[in-house]
A and B are shown apart, each in its own frame.
Chain A
């Protein structure tokens, strides 16, 4: 159980993390999601006691991570962004050190190192010097280090950065596997990664928590904004009359489409699927449906929406011009990063992510 209260970190005038509050229970995979510079690494560094917060506390099983390091940190395994490996050690020497640091009893050390190496698949290289390993293997060694001592919570900072597509898939599988026995907290700026591995998502932007819910719930909340795109062979008045008969529609816009058809965009309240209802309503008034598209809200849309809100609201209240310029630049960066990443991630995994228009929903055409 990790409790983060009012966690704040200031670097001079710059607030990297701004009064974060959250609790992390047992046995799930949690994801910190946010653009670069959102405060993910800073938060993780504070949670593990590497740096001290300007304000607030982080309690691990009720122990303050800075004041009671021994009790608090024994239950945490941390893999920072750059694996903290000693280049001049072999893997087994390094894990032996990790075991000593975590105060693993001497009798269990060997057995535990063996298990951990099996888990991250480095057992056959244990005699090799770490400086001779590739980036992917160093990452695994770092992960192995975090697993030594069987900590309840494992904190991973950008665990897949810099790996090749195959290694990314392997590490993700491994993380999912670890999620069964440990609480895993990972950070990422790759949306597909978080939506794929994590049960629970916390979106950070400018050091603030802008969304905090299960992956499914986040999508559900946003479903109020799910929309249907229709093309009907009818005029505007007739369409208006038909739609009035469906109470679940929260708003709609009607635009002419060619000579005898209209384009309709429907916003729905709640998460009911209205496609059948619309079909029967239109059929009853003998109005042919030429097209029906279901627009799904993905984590990506949520991410874009919540991370855009924060900087957009800020410059208006902020009189300082310099700050404005900075925020604007960051907003642009945020967008660019968020747009670029899903494409890259999809490429990486070779799996297409949630497209906004699932092909199966195009039945209206027929």
Chain B
């Protein structure tokens, strides 16, 4: 694991990509920092971090797109997968390598709040809780990007899909607020989710038959449920959207609230996608 992480960091740091990502990140944070705090004297540093949430849409796809897709494209995955390392080591190494690059940017951002203390009283604890939340959310997004990168051998496709998924998560609280909680809405939502899962099964297993059967069975089950017991579906899609709503957890951090539940949520999301990635890379062997 250490070997791969070291290699990953070295790759980002000996080529432009790592520096460009970090510079880009710092540039965005710097603009908001200047505008909110230096120019207007606003003391809550978390405002900057909240405004920089959109940065995930840009830096995560770029950071993660090549992680596994690029290896497969360049055939260097043959070297890794035939080495004595296990797939778990490779995937975790990749994850922590990318996380380290992200952490360098976050580490520099950590220097900003003390600057504010020069101008007045600043709640440093709240500021660092916001930064921690930002970092954890980044970790979860990196795991998602890593997983998507493992599904394809084309880094550009990986980047586009990662962007799409993070965009969807980013918009989730918005979608949640416009959707109602009737059974029909839930039915439509479940229908769409099952189609998406079937496509995912197809991508993972490369087996159209299994995907089709699983998809059809899921749709049949949800349709039966909808007609037999519509009240059971009411509002349930809201629960799912809550689970997917990755940004609202960050809002808690931004308010200066360090809730263990939210920390576990982000770590859980990261762990889930890392496990999926290990499964997906292992699956490639069998195709």
List residues of chain A with CB under 8 Å of any chain B CB. Answer: 45, 48-52, 66, 69-71, 73-74, 76, 78, 80, 82, 84-89, 93, 97-98, 100-103, 145
Contact = CB atoms under 8 A, between A and B. Distances in A.
A51 B285 CA distance: 4
B96 to A, nearest CB: 15
24 contacts: A45-B78, A48-B82, A49-B82, A50-B285, A51-B286, A69-B84, A69-B86, A70-B86, A73-B82, A73-B84, A76-B82, A78-B78, A78-B79, A80-B75, A82-B75, A84-B74, A87-B74, A89-B11, A97-B3, A101-B3, A101-B79, A101-B80, A102-B83, A145-B79
Contacts of A45: 78
Interface residues of B, number: 22
A71 B84 CA distance: 7
Interface in B1-50: 3, 6-7, 10-11, 14-15
A73 B82 CA distance: 7
B81 interface: yes
A308 to B, nearest CB: 32
Nearest to A142: B79
B84 A70 contact: yes
A51 B84 CA distance: 14
Contact of A101 (B11, B14, B83, B286): B83
Interface of A is mostly: loop
B206 to A, nearest CB: 9
Contacts, number: 65
A190 B15 CA distance: 39
Contacts of A103: 84
A82 to B, nearest CB: 5
Interface of B: 3, 6-7, 10-11, 14-15, 74-86, 285-286
Contacts of B86: 69-70
A119 to B, nearest CB: 19
Contacts of B286: 51-52
Nearest to A101: B83
A86 B43 CA distance: 47
Contact of B78 (A50, A71, A89): A50
A49 B90 CA distance: 15
Contacts of A76: 82
